[in-house]
A and B are shown apart, each in its own frame.
Chain A
Amino acid sequence: MRAFKTLILAAALGLGLTGSALAAESAVPPEQEWHHSGIFGTFDKAALQRGFQVYKEVCSTCHAMSLVSYRNLQALGFSEDEVKAIAAQYQVPAAPNDAGEIVERPAIPADHFKSPFPNEQAARAANGGAYPPDLSLMAKAREHGEDYLYALLTGFEEPPEGVTVPDGMYYNKYFPGHLIGMPPILQDDSVTYADNTPATLAQSAHDVSTFLVWAAEPHLETRKQTGVKVILFLLVFAGMMYAVKRKVWADAHP
């Protein structure tokens, strides 16, 4: 029996090892330090504001973020008036006026982030046929989430010997297939941070990845904080139930 169980264990182990070896076909993004990871993780508000600045000044020229509204920015630490001012920088189509024409109006906090292109076709036409995907859920829509985003933004490099990169494409170590249509647009000092943090590539990539996690999962902090309370409650309840069970069953096992 014992020998048999060992055999099963060995088989299961072998299977697991082969599996993980096969899965490693493209470069696995290294794990980064994130303020929001872990059971008690919370967002670094300063990093979120910097990350929003990077998105606003760099990413948003091509990438939409249509599921996020300006009003959501209050969660980053902006005041109501600051949010109104940010929204008012954008012109969005208004409802048809009495003449049936659609005119532009300044955006209000309730509006969703304005997309850089009116539709996918326009986006493709402006980007050499490639479609810059919507970033609202990007941190949840890729394996390895924010680690992948950081790796991608910092993973542009010279192609290795023998790899020819077609016109309008770039070589990225972490992109599946390595050839990506996005240029290495984020560089050292692509932005000048309002809080005077040096805007190195690593810093701004880290900040914007943090911002993208928030955009994809705005209730992350509430979720984890509620979770800690729920788990503590259930531990207490399970402990009490165990005591009750012991008492009730005490006379069932003479």
Chain B
Amino acid sequence: MAAPQFKNPVVRWIDYRLPVFTALHHEYNEYPMPKNCNYLWSFGAIAMVTLIIMIVSGITLAMSYTPSTTMAFQSVERIMRDVNSGWLIRYIHMNGASMFFIAVFIHIFRGLYFGSYKAPREILWMLGVVILLLMMATAFMGYVLPWGQMSFWGATVITNLFSAFPIIGDHIVTWLWGGFSVDNPTLNRFFALHYLLPFVLLGVVFLHVAAVHVHGSNNPVGIDIKGPQDSLPFHPYFTIKDTFGLSIFLLVFAGFVFFAPNYMGHPDNYIPANPMVTPAHIVPEWYFLPFYAILRAVPDKLGGVLAMFGAIAVLFILPWLDTSKVRSSNYRPIYRQFFWVLVIDCLVLGYAGGMPAEGIWLVVARVAAIYYFAHFLIILPLLGKLERPRPLPSSISEPVLKGGGHYPTAAAAKPMEKA
């Protein structure tokens, strides 16, 4: 791969000493993308932009926020009422968390459908799971900061999960709290960590992007790039396509921020935290509901906690649980059906997680939780052996273009590691 020639002498001077421009050129300009990637592939870039929106709005909010139990609620309301455009920045941050999870969930299910976690992209996938975990921790601690009723009781319930561990459990909880209940020390450390973790997240995202650039992106057909006719340079084809996808995503985002800013929130969080009164019905934010349903589905305290963490742990080993060599569901007729059942199963879990844990909803949550694990631990390993995939095309271009023709050639034919 030839180093690009830069016209600008300053750029050339810098690049000769620190080849950042060459790196950018390779990774974001000529980087070969499979030409058949559809709009589902835009959600990685969309999630990245959302992360940046969250960091910028978060830093701005932190400039007006006071992490103290006596001032936190008022300082958030001061942002909403008195700080210039404070209401806008806070609603962006509040709804941005949900939009970030929407983008990432679509990104994850896209990976599940098209087998993006399979060799040689296992580490890429596992870094993605780490990102999800970091997001969950960050979102949870951020939700505590306004110090409303849901903040306080959410923090109490979730930190109490750790008391399930035998012997050391109670010590862990006391350590997390810095006291004997969720209180000022807890709020202070949650603020510190809520500020820190997004930058850790950014670092892992960097590794995630570096990993995807080693073997290139997967694609709807799920077979590797065979030659220049299969790929297009990232710029302008996918920069433009992703920006269009992003603009549609931002429309939805703006719809929430300006016309339904509290739709995904809970009214109880507009009541200041009261350690003496628990709200009648505690629910976490919607993005935690499937995991919350799994937690409550297990009648044993420790068992529930383990099952909830297990629901994410199972994703770590997914690349080895799926025994099929075929990546894309388009060529796996049976897996494709199970994929949609899993999607429904997760929606059912989410719904059950928002309902009171009693009667029919407990049964529904249990069935759905068992199915969730069965999908990964039983169905996927067996299916890879039993299913007969449909024949794969010989190249990416084949199903896209019947009979070939003249293709525009990507600047680099091969992914980066072969250079």
Contact = CB atoms under 8 A, between A and B. Distances in A.
Given A218-B81, A245-B241, A227 B258 contact: yes
B270 A137 contact: yes
B254 A67 contact: no
B268 interface: yes
Contacts of B80: 219
Interface stretch (B169-177, B193-201, B402-410): B402-410
A241 B259 contact: no
Interface of B: 35, 74, 77, 80-81, 87-88, 91, 232, 236-237, 240-241, 243-244, 247-248, 250-251, 254-255, 257-259, 261-262, 267-268, 270-271, 280, 337, 340-341, 344, 347-348, 351, 355, 360, 401, 405-408
A18 B360 contact: yes
A4 B340 CA distance: 10
A141 B81 contact: no
Given A141-B267, A235-B251, A254-B406, A226 B258 contact: yes
B81 A67 contact: yes
A223 interface: yes
A216 B241 CA distance: 41
Nearest to A243: B244
Contacts, number: 99
Interface centre among B243, B244, B250, B340 (most CB of A within 10 A): B244
B401 to A, nearest CB: 7
Given A216-B270, A234-B254, A223 B87 contact: yes
Contact of A223 (B236, B261, B340, B407): B261
A178 interface: no
A67 B250 contact: no
B244 A137 contact: no
B247 A254 contact: no
Given A4-B337, A39-B259, A176-B280, A231 B251 contact: yes
A235 B258 CA distance: 15
A219 B80 CA distance: 8
Contact of B88 (A4, A39, A223, A241): A223
13 contacts: A4-B337, A8-B340, A8-B341, A12-B344, A141-B271, A219-B87, A231-B255, A234-B254, A238-B248, A241-B247, A244-B240, A249-B240, A254-B401
Interface centre among A133, A222, A228, A230 (most CB of B within 10 A): A230
A181 to B, nearest CB: 15
Contacts of A8: 340-341, 344
Interface in A137-182: 137, 140-143, 145, 176
Interface of A: 1, 4, 8, 11-12, 15, 18-19, 22, 39, 67, 72, 133, 136-137, 140-143, 145, 176, 216, 218-219, 222-224, 226-228, 230-231, 234-235, 237-238, 241-242, 244-245, 248-249, 251-254
Contact of B247 (A12, A18, A145, A234): A234
Which secondary structure dominates where chain A touches chain B?
helix
Contact of B405 (A176, A248, A249, A254): A254
A145 B267 CA distance: 9
A242 B257 contact: no
B251 A143 contact: no
A227 B406 contact: no
Contacts of A251: 408
Contacts of B401: 253-254
B247 A238 contact: yes
A133 B240 CA distance: 52
Nearest to B343: A8
A179 B299 CA distance: 34
A141 B270 contact: yes
A227 B254 contact: yes
A242 B267 contact: no
A237 B249 CA distance: 12
Given A142-B267, A223-B258, A245-B241, A238 B348 contact: no
Contacts of A223: 87-88, 91, 258, 261
A249 B344 CA distance: 35
